[in-house]
Structure 1
């Protein structure tokens, strides 16, 4: 038998195998602190830039029946949380597929903002969920530079250009301004949760939006999640014939090379180190 005859003989089987392949649930990992500016020391971060390609790949499967979000995040930048969530809803509407969000160890603050992009939200009983609030944190370094005899020189046009400068003493009026800004962001966060969860919410605004974090089991009672479950467990029941395909977001170059924590210039070390401490602090607030 010639090569051509062999290919012709196998062709019907190949076509049959392709047509018999089952549906796909595409899963996207959203792991890490949410930030528009990942640092070389960060191993996992979430931003619109890093997750866009993964989201696009996930929603492009031709046998797609659902998209799953695997969320493990202590939160971070509210704008990035909103941009990613809006992109997920845009793609879901375009492809007309449901989005299932799964809270893993932690879906707090911006992490829960992302979870609300799902049509259904699941958590493990031991997951930590919620923290619907706004936090700003940083370091006051004015005493440090004075100790080492460093003079800070800042020249501005506009009296509010250096509000909350970490190298200058904190001013009460700047703190008051920050609190007003936080209140506006908090309202937007609460409005998003209400829009996405609606009548499923089973507690008052004061109970839900005070920054508290709950276990997954308690989050079910409050209506913040729809049920307890894991990706494979829920998919096995909902789509028993489905294949799970995981789309990984892009990671910083140094992290991909296994060099997270490296810095190229000695002058960057303090800034990068403080950023790494801040990232670590976001997780440690929840005992992780």
Structure 2
């Protein structure tokens, strides 16, 4: 009789011990619920902390804005008797900086109008900037000097009084410098960039459509042309002549003209006195004490408030400045 074969799959298997794969810890449901509840509590606490933080931050910003507006609208110079008025012009001269004609001229008008002002010091520490802003300040100084002939205006130079800064200073009665100050740079520049060579290498084609034959002048992505160069040079020469006329008018016979005096060169304070660009040496304390004879100095400088700074940062001037810097570079006295 043949042996009977039972397939392995059909052979009775030995009982297998139960595994713990699906087993749960005792009271696992409760532990899971506790973890979920704890996470929810932590999240609520975190949200509450952030809510409180943002409320305090908003309150702090609001208080600062209210204070700055109140401070700006109630800014007065305390009565101090006979004194020397001080107005500061520091940094690049431009409409969107602290060294702008509107604020500086307003400060000067307040300084001259005070009946206790014996004389005015305009402290300048500037590399130059906008010829328009500098020209407006120059004209206002000359107007105020005529309106208040008994109150002299002296410029005191810090580290630098160059280009547009000197354009402003030339309107003063006298200019005082340190021996190491940088003075001069009577010239005009227009700067920018040209990308046509780089575009050719990268295979980039510029497509510019204009209405008006000269509308695309000074486009940095288009080739330079002789007509563009001639037009730009004519504008620079005209503004340069305005600068020269202002210096000659302000300095008069004190100016010792040389072939380099209007070339854009700059000199030390010591050399500027020799050239007649400045009149002597001294800081604000010296001029107030020894020249004006009123050692008590009162600062009339308009300071930008926080609200003004925020408005300027987020205003339309940001976009306009970016476009101007990209397309034209701007005309500067530097």
TM-score, length-normalised on structure 1? 0.75
Note if 1:33 corresponds to 2:92.
Answer: yes
Show structure 1 runs of 5+ residues with no match: 1-17, 39-43
| 2:98–2:303 contact (8 Å) kept in structure 1 | no
| 2:118–2:294 contact (8 Å) kept in structure 1 | no
For 1:125, the equivalent position in structure 2 comes to 179
Note if 1:134 corresponds to 2:188.
Answer: yes
Larger Rg computed on CA atoms:
2
1:246-281 deviations in whole A, cap 9, x for unaligned? Answer: 122343857846x99x6689x959938968xx79xx
| 2:86–2:121 contact (8 Å) kept in structure 1 | yes
SS at structure 2 position matched to 1:249 = coil
Quote the offset at 1:90 in angstroms.
0.9
Quote the offset at 1:162 in angstroms.
2.6
Q: After the TM superposition, list the runs of 4 or more consecutive aligned residues in structure 1 that deviate by more than 6 angstroms.
A: 143-146, 262-265
Q: CA RMSD in A?
A: 3.5
Note if 1:91 corresponds to 2:91.
Answer: no
Note if 1:62 corresponds to 2:115.
Answer: yes
169-178 or 234-243, larger mean C-alpha shift: 234-243
Quote the offset at 1:84 in angstroms.
0.9
Please give the alpha-carbon distance, in whole angstroms, between the structure 2 residues aligned to 1:34 and 1:231.
21
| Alignment match of 1:160 (pick from 210, 214, 219) | 214
Aligned positions of 1:120-269 closer than 5 A? 120-141=174-195, 152-156=207-211, 158-204=212-258, 206-251=259-304, 256=309
Quote the offset at 1:49 in angstroms.
2.4
TM-score, length-normalised on structure 2? 0.65
1:104-158 deviations in whole A, cap 9, x for unaligned? Answer: 11111111011111100011111100001111112335567885968654422x2
SS at structure 2 position matched to 1:29 = strand
SS at structure 1 position matched to 2:260 = helix
| Alignment match of 2:106 (pick from 50, 53, 62) | 53
Aligned residues: 251
SS at structure 2 position matched to 1:203 = coil
Q: Which has the higher contact order (CA 8 A, sep 6+)?
A: 1
Please give the alpha-carbon distance, in whole angstroms, between the structure 1 residues aligned to 2:302 and 2:148.
20
Show structure 2 runs of 5+ residues with no match: 1-77
User: Are residues 148 and 234 of structure 1, via their aligned partners in 2, closer, same or farther at CA, if it must alter by over 3 Å?
Assistant: farther
| 1:122–1:225 contact (8 Å) kept in structure 2 | yes
Quote the offset at 1:77 in angstroms.
1.7
